[in-house]
Amino acid sequence: MLRKQDTSVSQAKQAISDYKKAVGDPEGVAELMVFYCEQAAGFCDDICSDDEGFFDALVRMFEQALKFANALSSDRRDDLVSRLDRVRTISHDFGYGVGDDMDFLLSKYTRS
């Protein structure tokens, strides 16, 4: 993180929402959601935040990303789900049941 920069879940979510309204490309929305999850998990892993609200937002975005990914072609979906699986693995270190919630969601949305 650069000096004098705040992390803002609401600004990140707003950017995704704005993109969705302006462009509406499901693949682009899914990519942004997965990127959000990757960055949020990396931030938590590096900074070790104990903010339950931040974790809740991460889990909600994780689920939304899975929903959008499931609507894509199998190649693109598999790539995004693989990236989300790495997020899930990292998130087991956070506590608060984050990893467990992601385990459940991943199994729910990736059943064959």
pLDDT band for position 34 (50/70/90)?
very high
Domain ranges of the chain: 9-109
| pLDDT score of 2 more than 60 | no
pLDDT tens-digit map of 35-49: 999 999 988 877 766
Q: Report which DSSP code applies to 89.
A: H
Q: What percent of the chain has pLDDT over 90?
A: 55
pLDDT band for position 3 (50/70/90)?
low
Length of the chain: 112
Task: Tell me the torsion sign for CA atoms 55, 89, 11, 32.
Answer: negative
pLDDT tens-digit map of 59-81: 999 999 999 999 999 999 999 99
| pLDDT score of 5 more than 60 | no
The pTM (predicted TM-score) of the whole model is 0.85
Among 67, 110, 72, 63, smallest CA distance to 91 is for: 63
34: left (phi over 0), alpha (psi -120 to 50) or beta: alpha
